Structure 1
Amino acid sequence: MSSTLNSGWPRRAPVLLAAGVFACLALQACNQSIPDRLGAPIEGYSHTSAAINYFMVNGNGGPNIGPFGGGGSQTCCVILPRKWHPGLTVVVEWEKDPMPHAYGDWPERRFSDAWSKRMDEHETKYTRHRAVVEVAPYEELGVIDVHFLPCDQVAVSAVAATPGQVGYPFNYPSKMEVPSVCPAP
């Protein structure tokens, strides 16, 4: 009788092992917790007469933004904690065109060699910036809103509300003038 038990065991071992692994995985699936960090879409707002040719938050790209414009166009994504905590920051990098409508007054035919040469010259006036920015407090993670303000200042929100709604942390006018003297960084 012992030889029968011993001869049956090796054939059943893979089945029993697979059943045990399956049971562990099934129990683990029931116990999965909500992740501590989530991906949130990015959008931006330019409150100045400059265009934002591109911007990035923690290395992830946001949409380009025209002067005094933005919102409504989202790209994906920045990973942030589900719950805000003091000292939460992001790195914002951007390229700014201080004269985005200049080429509209050029006499050259668009995309001609002369126009392209002038455009190359115009692009030398673009400026690039980088800022470490505190994220405004949020109860529930929403869209990452990057506000480009005069004097190359930036504000970042991640609340589950849109500008103008109750609970939105900023109330910037859509059009802001650059002061004659900018505050020191």
Structure 2
Amino acid sequence: FLSLAGCSLGESEYLGGDLWAVNHTSAAINHFSVNGYGGGNASPYGYGGGACCVMLPREWRPGLMMKVEWETDPNPDARLPPLGTDEYSAAYAKHAANYQQHITSVPLPPYEQGLCALEVHFLPCHQVKLTTACWGYGSPKNPIKEPLEMKEPAVCPE
């Protein structure tokens, strides 16, 4: 028999929620993470992630920053030889050499009690926006209004 005397079983200082991605670019997101919590992939101009869970502080406070890391495939429509062939390995290695690694810190927007999900929006010029809104992308109540299909500008702002 195990005694829990002296242990506090109060509320955790963290909340858990799903981790979703919305990719507004023509590159595929091979994988991403937020503060080390991994998300899946996201197709070009599409959705992804759906991983459980990301942990955020129970109480939001100003200055909270999230470290977002991701890998892109700038040519997701590349045609490769059939899997399992000798040609495939060489073609895949050449293709994967073009994958790009990105990392940025993004402010975590305010949220109220509870957490539905953390939605990560990948925008042109390797920009990222976050929302913790309980309304998915496309809902009038979701704060991210950028269109899903955004074109990369000829020159990205500094």
Equivalent residue, structure 2, for 1:14: none
Which structure would you say has the larger RCO, counting Cα contacts within 8 Å and 6 or more residues apart?
A: 2
CA-to-aligned-CA distance 1:130-172 (integer Å, 9 cap, x gap): 1111112222422011111101111111222212334322112
> Are 2:149 and 1:160 equivalent residues in the alignment?
no
Q: Which residue of 2 aligns with 1:118?
A: 91
> For 1:114, what is the secondary structure of its paired residue?
helix
Supply the distance in 1 between the matched residues of 2:63 and 2:153 (Cα, whole angstroms). 29
Cα root mean square deviation, aligned: 2.2
The code of the aligned residue for 2:56 comes to L
Instruction: Answer 1 or 2: which has greater strand percent.
Output: 2
> Which amino acid in 1 is paired with 2:24?
H
3-state DSSP of counterpart to 1:41? strand
Is the Cα–Cα contact under 8 Å of residues 137 and 159 in structure 1 kept in the other structure? no
The reply on whether 1:57 has 2:34 as its aligned counterpart is yes
Whether 1:85 aligns to 2:85 is: no
Q: TM-score, normalised by structure 2?
A: 0.87
Rg (Cα) greater in structure? 1
Within-5 A mapping of 1:1-185: 33-71=10-48, 73-103=49-79, 106=80, 108-140=81-113, 141-184=115-158
| Greater helix content | 1
Cα shift at 1:33:
4.3
Tell me if structure 2 keeps the 8 A contact 1:93–1:130.
Answer: yes
Q: Against the structure 1 CA distance between its residues 92 and 151, is the aligned structure 2 distance closer, same or farther, given a 3 Å change threshold?
A: same
Structure 2 portions without partners, runs of 5+: none
Q: Secondary structure at the match of 2:102?
A: strand
Q: What is the number of residues matched between the two proteins?
A: 155
Identical positions, percent = 41
Deviations 1:1-22 (A, max 9, x none): xxxxxxxxxxxxxxxxxxxx88
Distance, in Å, in 1 between the alignment partners of 2:104 and 2:130 is 11
Partner-residue secondary structure (3-state), 1:165: coil
Q: Report the AA paired with residue 64 of structure 2.
A: L
